[in-house]
Chains A and B, each alone.
Chain A
């Protein structure tokens, strides 16, 4: 007992020290600090998952992610927001997996009541999951595949973004962002542009990207259209010439367009998303880096959900989602990659015993149609049962 006393005392000291300094959201509200001057806000989210591969008869269990949010309001015009993420519980030198990364870190400047600018590591408004990626906000243990591989959520880059909404057209929101571009050297066959993100780490600012969105709420509907257009070869002219790539701000361009619509009724809910990526210089990228970059990628999904129980605190929801991805919808010449179409059918339930905690159980049927010229009949099927626990506060 005695040998535990000193460490315990130390922990108490540290805890008391920090509780004296950091004011929680609830304390801030109670003390009236939010409305007056400044405050520090802490919150976070995370998820745990057990996955059983019924085909392989293997199972895994993992801490998918734990995120700590820290924000600080300097005054009524300027605030700081940050999210620090640990994936897979630990990161070990040389080991595969795990990530310790900043998911967001930006300063927000209020221009007026309807408009503000965020500067720093920002998450542009593209798709649904990119902005709304907390586990309590989506059904299923996995984020949607379309928004993992075609729209590489959580897609954050360095730059600045204007956000606003209209008073004249109730429910109309807009955003326009300027961020660093991608790195086509890191595009990968089967993973699309995901590997080309810099995510705030020593990003090449020679190429840039512009992205914008229109988001509109009407009744229980939420619809959004967004697009992204940016360069992916932020390299010197000499290097670009030697690789036969177009450099410059928007050189070796990538464009992404996306449309989604959600119906969020008290009982019935539905959402659908369609996205399309074009890389017209894919052939040049393949010649330069031999990474089988596709010319076009296509993805879409449809999800239907029904709240069997919906009270102020508890929600029990059943859902089913079908996803389709074609990572190689159109391939450039000089590509060795086959045409791969992926289909996912995910069905299950989400139970929120309290707003902020979610228990998820789902069954996933996965079909990868590999239309390889070598073996057109080749296909990979998978059946998974996944059980997860998530939280956000």
Chain B
């Protein structure tokens, strides 16, 4: 009986710590969300208004049901934008976008905002899409 009580107590402790981390993390990072666009795909192109890169925001995620993976638009400097498919070049797993790069949880690969493989096992860079700057918006060709 005491075994069960101890076990339940300890397991609840574990769950509480998990929950605690879940509560603490958002507080730590409440301002770190990534701008996301549910984009319309028209004739193989997606338009992204530049206002999404307001202030110090240098990363925008583009989602479209026709695309298998999200596309990350990265602002590397004034007028310097690049678009990458968030598919790990190792085994096609989805990449996790963060404010510091792209990570693959499957085997630990990581990629820079320039799309370069920074950590093995991935060796190849990310697939890049053509991006054109037209007035106050970007046009992504997929």
Contact = CB atoms under 8 A, between A and B. Distances in A.
14 contacts: A45-B121, A131-B106, A132-B107, A136-B121, A163-B105, A170-B33, A171-B98, A214-B25, A216-B25, A216-B29, A219-B99, A246-B4, A255-B7, A355-B117
Interface string B79-104: 00000010101111010111110010
B123 A355 contact: yes
B30 to A, nearest CB: 8
Nearest to A108: B93
B52 interface: no
Interface residues of A, number: 60
Contact of B103 (A34, A71, A137, A222): A222
Nearest to A168: B33
B119 interface: yes
B15 A227 contact: yes
Nearest first, the 5 A-B pairs at minimum CB distance are A132-B108, A136-B120, A392-B121, A171-B98, A227-B14
Interface string A121-137: 00001000001101011
B96 A41 contact: no
B105 A255 contact: no
B14 A229 contact: yes
B34 interface: yes
A264 B25 CA distance: 19
Contacts of A229: 11, 14
Interface string B32-44: 1110100000000
A354 B122 CA distance: 11
Contacts of A264: 110, 119
A110 to B, nearest CB: 8
B120 A170 contact: no
Contacts of B68: 35, 76
Q: Which of A169, A218, A222, A356 has the most CB of B within 10 A?
A: A169
Contact of A355 (B94, B98, B120): B120
Contacts of B33: 167-170
A227 B96 contact: no
Interface string A206-226: 000000101111111010010
A217 B100 contact: yes
Contacts of B32: 169-171, 218
